[in-house]
């Protein structure tokens, strides 16, 4: 069945360093969403990408959807301690378009 994989699983960075997480699907996606889950919290929607090759920015966060619509990335420039958490990509899969989440990337930022 549909699988959405993310790498890396964990990432430790020093504050001010950049961070990137990658999301890969075995099939073509109609769209992809990104969520952030703070420690102890619930996932919160960040953005949705729909078009092939689409790039969207939110302050220090840059989201990209691959040309083949099978992969996506989230890049954070100059990380801050407030960026700590787990970042998930998600996509609608299957006939019912159920929302399936990637495996997540846990980001830790050290001072």
Which residues lie near another protein (CB under 8 A)?
Answer: 30-31, 33, 35, 41-45, 48, 50, 88, 90, 92, 96-104, 106
* Number of helices (H), then strands (E), in the chain: 0, 11
Report in angstroms how near the CB of residue 10 gets to another protein at its nearest. Answer: 9
The structure tokens listed for 41 are 């919290």
- In the complex with another protein, the residue whose CB is nearer, 14 or 96, is 96
Tokens read off for 97: 């378009």
* CA distances from residue 55 to 11, 58, 66, 106, 110 in whole angstroms, order as listed: 23, 10, 9, 22, 28
- Closer CB to another protein, residue 43 or residue 66? 43
Whose Cβ is closer to another protein: residue 4's or residue 76's?
4
Residue 77's SS3 state is coil
In the complex with another protein, the residue whose CB is nearer, 45 or 110, is 45
- Find the shortest distance in angstroms from Cβ 16 to another protein: 25
Q: What is the nearest approach in angstroms of another protein to the Cβ of residue 99?
A: 6
């Amino acid at each position: 069945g549909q699988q959405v994989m993310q790498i890396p699983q964990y990432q430790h960075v020093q504050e001010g360093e950049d961070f990137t997480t990658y999301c890969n699907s075995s099939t073509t996606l109609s769209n992809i969403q990104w969520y952030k889950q703070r420690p102890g919290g619930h996932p919160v929607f960040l953005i949705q990408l729909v078009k092939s090759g689409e790039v969207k920015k939110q302050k220090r966060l840059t989201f990209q959807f691959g040309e083949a619509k099978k992969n996506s990335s989230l890049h954070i420039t100059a990380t801050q301690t407030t960026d700590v958490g787990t970042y998930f990509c998600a996509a609608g899969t299957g006939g019912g378009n159920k929302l399936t989440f990637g495996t997540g990337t846990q980001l830790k930022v050290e001072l």
